[in-house]
Amino acid sequence: MGRVRLWELFSIFFRIGMFSFGGGLSAWIYREIVELRGWLTEQEFLSGMALSQILPGANVSNLSVYIGQRLRGVSGAVVALLALLTAPFLAVIGLLAVYDRISAIPWAAAAMDGVAAAAIGLLLRMAIRAGRQASTTLSGAVALAATFIGVGVLRWPLIPVVLCVAPLSVAAAWPRAPKNA
């Protein structure tokens, strides 16, 4: 694979920003960048996804910056982020002008429900892949299960759960020196 052109990076992130929203964005980015083009490996993408989730700001914006930087440095990061945000910015400005008319159309709500269902499906697909990748070791599987139970089942706040599980997970995964070294 040759060097990714800035125009290619722009067109992919612009299209993603223009035609999707919500949780489905990360899954669509994964499909475009890893599956279709092979610009990043699955492990590189998931590392970027994890990093984008712990940094402040919108996860998908952070992810676009990570991918752009990995592929083309600072200029790639700027291009990917601007491309991702340009279409939604223009769409929000345009929709604001016609909001009153659109909100009165009965099928508009049904269409939005369908789009939301598709985004949830894409997000579940990516979550299953990420879960498989994270649970390849016993410590990863335990951390994944503990986080899921704490947040998903017991409904505890995410930040305290992660603050408790993360140090234990890191300690379990930390490489240990051989005893006879």
- Whether 127 and 144 share a structural domain: no
- Indicate whether 29 pLDDT > 70: yes
Of 128, 26, 41, 4, which is closest to residue 84 (Cα–Cα)? 26
For the stretch 59-77, pLDDT in tens is 899 999 999 999 999 999 9
Q: What is the mean pLDDT of the chain?
A: 86
The answer to whether residue 40 is domain-embedded is: yes
Give alpha helix (H) positions in 55-136: 59-103, 106-134
Q: Which amino acid is at 81?
A: L
pTM to 2 decimal places = 0.59
Q: Which of 119, 134, 149 is the last residue of a domain?
A: 134
| CB-based burial label for 1 (10 Å; 0-12, 13-18, 19+) | exposed
Tally of domains within the chain = 2
User: Which range of residues forms the domain containing residue 149?
Assistant: 137-181
The predicted pLDDT at position 101 comes to 74
For the stretch 97-111, pLDDT in tens is 876 677 677 787 787
The predicted pLDDT at position 22 comes to 61
The answer to whether residue 1 is domain-embedded is: no
Determine how many CB atoms are found less than 10 A away from the CB of residue 85.
17
Higher-confidence residue of 125 and 21: namely: 125
Mean pLDDT along residues 132-147: 84
- Whether 34 and 50 share a structural domain: yes
Contact 80, 68 (CB under 8 A): yes
What are the structure tokens assigned to 5, written together?
Answer: 């052109």
